[in-house]
A and B are shown apart, each in its own frame.
Chain A
Amino acid sequence: MIGYLLRRLLAMAVTLLVICALTFAIFYLLPSDPAAQFCGKDCSAERIELVRQQLGLNDPLVVQFGRYVVGIFAGQTLGSGPYAVRCDFPCFGYSFQSAQPVWDLMMDRLPTSASLAVGAAVLWLLLGVSAGVLAALRRGTWVDRTVMVTTIGLSALPVYFIAMILLYLVVTVTGLLPYPRYIAFGEDPGGWLANLIMPWTTLAVMYAALYARMTRNSVIETLAEPYVRTARAKGLPERRVVGKHGLRPALTPVATMLGMDLGGLLAGALITESLFSLPGVGKLFADSLNKADQPVIMGITLLASFFIVSSNLVVDLVYAWIDPRARLA
C-alpha cells in the first residue's frame, strides 16, 4: 500500500510538472508580452526593454520555467531596484495589474468556490442518488420512466438558462430572494444560505440529472449480481437485501464521480459564478481573462490541475479502501 501510494504521488508530481510546463510554454511562446502589460499602454520601447530585463524575460525559456517552478516552493523576487516585488512561498507569480501575489488572490476567492461546490454537491447527491435508487427499484414503472425522462431533459438544459430563469422568477417576478451576493459563513450563516440557494440549485440541477442516471444504472447492475440472488434466496428481507447488499457496492462509482466533480468545481464553477457574480475562483478567472492578467490565468490553471489530479488520487485511495477488489490496481 505504501509503495502504491508513493508510486501514485510520484506520477501525480510528474503529471503536474508536465501540465505546468505546457501552461508555461503556451503563455510565454505565444505572441503577448508580459513586459508591455506590466508597463502599461504608452510605454517607450526602451522602457519595455528595461522591464523585460528586470523580469528576466530575455532568459531562455527553460531558465524562466525553472525559476517559476523553484519560485513556487522557494518564493522569488520579481524585478529589481525600486520596482522589485517579493512573492513568498507558495509563489504562483505576481499579478502586476492588481499588485498582489497570485496565490493571495486565489486564496481570497477559494472559500466562495468551496461553499458553492460543497453545498451544491450535498443538494445534487440528495436529489440525484435518491431519484436514481427509486427509479432502479421501481424499474419499468411510471416512476422509473418519469425519472428518466426528467433527467434527460434536465441534463440538456444549458446552465445559463437555469441560472437566468431562476433569477428572473425568484428575484424579478416574485422577489422571494434578493440578487445573490456572497456573504461569508462566519459572518452571517443565514445570509450565506439565502444567497447561495440559487447558485446551488443551478449547479445541482445539472449534476443531479447525471447522478440519477448513473445511480440507477449502477443499482440495477448490482441487483443483478449473483450474491444479491443468494441474499434473497437465504430469505433476507428485501429491505436488507437492497440496503446492505445492493446499495453499498452500487454507490462506489457514485463516490468516484463525486470526487472528480468536486475536484473540478473547487477551482471555480466558471459560468455559474459569473452569472451570479459570486466572487469565487471561477469569477476571478473570468475577470482575469477580460483584463488579460496572465499570471492569474496561469495560476488558476495550475490550481485547477492540482485539484483535479489530487482528487483522482483521493478517489482511487478511497476506492481501494472501500472495495478490496480494487486494491491491486
Chain B
Amino acid sequence: MTAPLATAPAGGAGAADPATDSAAPASPWALALSRLRRQKAAMTGLAIIVFFVLAALLAPVLTAISGKGPDDLDKKAVNTYLGGLPRGSLGGISPQHWLGVEPLLGRDIFARLLYGAQISLLVAFSSALLITLIGTLLGVTAGYFGGRTDAVISRFMDVMMSFPSLIFMIALLSVARDVNRLLLLIGVLSLFGWPYIARVIRGQTLSLRHREYVEAARACGTSSGRILLTEILPNLTGTIIVYVTLAIPGLIGAEAALTYLGVGIRPPTPSWGQMIADSVLYYKVDPMFFVLPSACLFLVVLAFTLLGDALRDALDPKGSRT
C-alpha cells in the first residue's frame, strides 16, 4: 500500500512496546490508532463506511423526507409508450426522484438504494460476525491443542476450502426454496467463509502457545480455558480485526452475486444485487440504472478494502512487511 511502512515497529502482536519516539507511554492500541489516523486512505474508507451505515440506519427517515418509499410505484415517472423508460434525462432524476426511477415500475431508486444498503450491510456484518466466531474458535482450538485435534480441524478446513464455494452456495440456496432467505444467505456465506480466518488464527496461535508468558501461566497451573481467554485471545485481537475487515468486502460482493443470480434475497425486498440484475435488461437505454447500484457496491467494497489494508499496516506489522 501507499502507507509509509518503515515506521511499523517489530513484534506488534500485543507485546507492549513503549512508544519509540514519544515520551508518554502509550498502549499498543493507542499507537495503532494514531498510526491509522495519519493515513488518509484509511480515514476515507472509514468515512465512506460511516456514510453508508448511517444511510442504511436512517433509511426510513430519509425516505420520509424524499417522500418516496422503496415499493411505491410511480407510473407517471415512466413513459409507457417507450417500454416503460423513465421520463427525463439521466434515468429520470427529478425533484420528486432524487436519483431517478426504475424503468417499467417507476420505483424510486434513492429509496431502493437505501433499503438495499440495509440488506447488504446486514448480511455482510452478520456473516462476518459468525465467521469470526467459528473461525476463531476452531482456529484457536486447532492451534493450541495441536495433535489429533489439529489434524482433524485442519483436514476439515482443507476440504471446505477445496469446495467450489460460489457454485456450492448456489446449489445449496437453490434447493432450499421456502426458508428465510436472509438467514439462509448469512448461514451459507458463513459456512464457506470461516476456514480462511481459522487458518490464519491457527498459525498465530501456534506461534503464541510457546511464548514464555504462556509457559509461565501453564506452569502456575492455569487451566487451558483461562490461558486461552487471558493469554492467547487478547494477542489475537489485532489479527482478527484485520481479517474480518478484509473479509467484509468479499461478503458484500458474494451477497450481491448470489442475489444477482437469483438465489439470494428475493424481491420485493430491495437489494443491490437485485437492482443490478434488473438493470441488465436496460443497460442500453438507461445506463443510470446499473451505474447507481454498481457505484454503491464499488464504494462500500473499496472503503472496506482501504480500511482493512490500513488496519493491517497498523495492527499487524508483520503481515504488512512486504
Known: A15-B159, A305-B163. A157 touches B322 (CB 8 A): no
Are A221's CB and B164's CB within 8 A?
no
Question: Which B149-176 residues have C-beta < 8 A from chain A?
Answer: 158-159, 162-164, 166-168, 170-172, 174-176
Q: Does B301 interact with chain A (Cβ within 8 Å)?
A: yes
Considering residues B256, B290, B302, which has the most beta carbons from chain A within 10 angstroms of its beta carbon?
A: B290
Q: A15-37 interface mask toward B, CB cutoff 8 Å, 1 = contact, 0 = none?
A: 10011000100110011100000
Are B287's CB and A301's CB within 8 A?
no
Q: A162-189 interface mask toward B, CB cutoff 8 Å, 1 = contact, 0 = none?
A: 0011011001100000000000000000
Known: A26-B175, A167-B283, A285-B167. A152 touches B162 (CB 8 A): no
Are A221's CB and B322's CB within 8 A?
yes
List of A residues within 8 angstroms of B253 by Cβ? 158
B175 CB → nearest A CB, Å: 4
List of B residues within 8 angstroms of A255 by Cβ? none
A117 CB → nearest B CB, Å: 14
A16 CB → nearest B CB, Å: 9
Known: A158-B253, A217-B322, A289-B170. A32 touches B175 (CB 8 A): yes
- Surface stretch bound by B, among A78-86, A100-108, A290-298: A290-298
Considering residues B162, B260, B294, which has the most beta carbons from chain A within 10 angstroms of its beta carbon?
A: B162
In the complex, A266→B257 CA distance in Å? 18
Are A158's CB and B283's CB within 8 A?
no
Are A155's CB and B305's CB within 8 A?
yes
A135 CB → nearest B CB, Å: 11
Known: A26-B175, A149-B2. A158 touches B262 (CB 8 A): no
Closest to B172 in A: A26
Q: Does B131 interact with chain A (Cβ within 8 Å)?
A: no
B246 CB → nearest A CB, Å: 12
In the complex, A216→B2 CA distance in Å? 12
In the complex, A65→B177 CA distance in Å? 23
Known: A264-B164, A270-B166. A164 touches B302 (CB 8 A): no
List of B residues within 8 angstroms of A27 by Cβ? 171, 175
Considering residues B158, B260, B279, B301, which has the most beta carbons from chain A within 10 angstroms of its beta carbon?
A: B260
Are A304's CB and B177's CB within 8 A?
no
Q: Does A236 interact with chain B (Cβ within 8 Å)?
A: no
In the complex, A229→B98 CA distance in Å? 60
| B260 partner, pick from A18, A271, A308, beta carbons under 8 A | A271
Q: Does A143 interact with chain B (Cβ within 8 Å)?
A: no
Tell me the dominant secondary structure on chain A's binding face. helix
A233 CB → nearest B CB, Å: 23
List of A residues within 8 angstroms of B309 by Cβ? 152
B306 CB → nearest A CB, Å: 7
List of B residues within 8 angstroms of A61 by Cβ? none
List of B residues within 8 angstroms of A267 by Cβ? 164, 167
List of B residues within 8 angstroms of A317 by Cβ? none
List of A residues within 8 angstroms of B306 by Cβ? 152
Are A157's CB and B170's CB within 8 A?
no
| B276 partner, pick from A158, A307, A312, beta carbons under 8 A | A158
In the complex, A157→B283 CA distance in Å? 17
Listed by A's residue number, 16 A-B pairs whose Cβ atoms lie within 8 Å are A19-B159, A145-B2, A148-B1, A149-B2, A152-B306, A156-B301, A157-B294, A158-B294, A160-B260, A160-B290, A161-B294, A165-B291, A172-B283, A275-B280, A292-B174, A297-B171
List of A residues within 8 angstroms of B321 by Cβ? 221
Considering residues B168, B175, B297, which has the most beta carbons from chain A within 10 angstroms of its beta carbon?
A: B175
B178 CB → nearest A CB, Å: 8
Closest to A161 in B: B294
Q: Does A133 interact with chain B (Cβ within 8 Å)?
A: no
In the complex, A188→B189 CA distance in Å? 42
Known: A26-B175, A32-B175, A156-B305. A161 touches B167 (CB 8 A): no
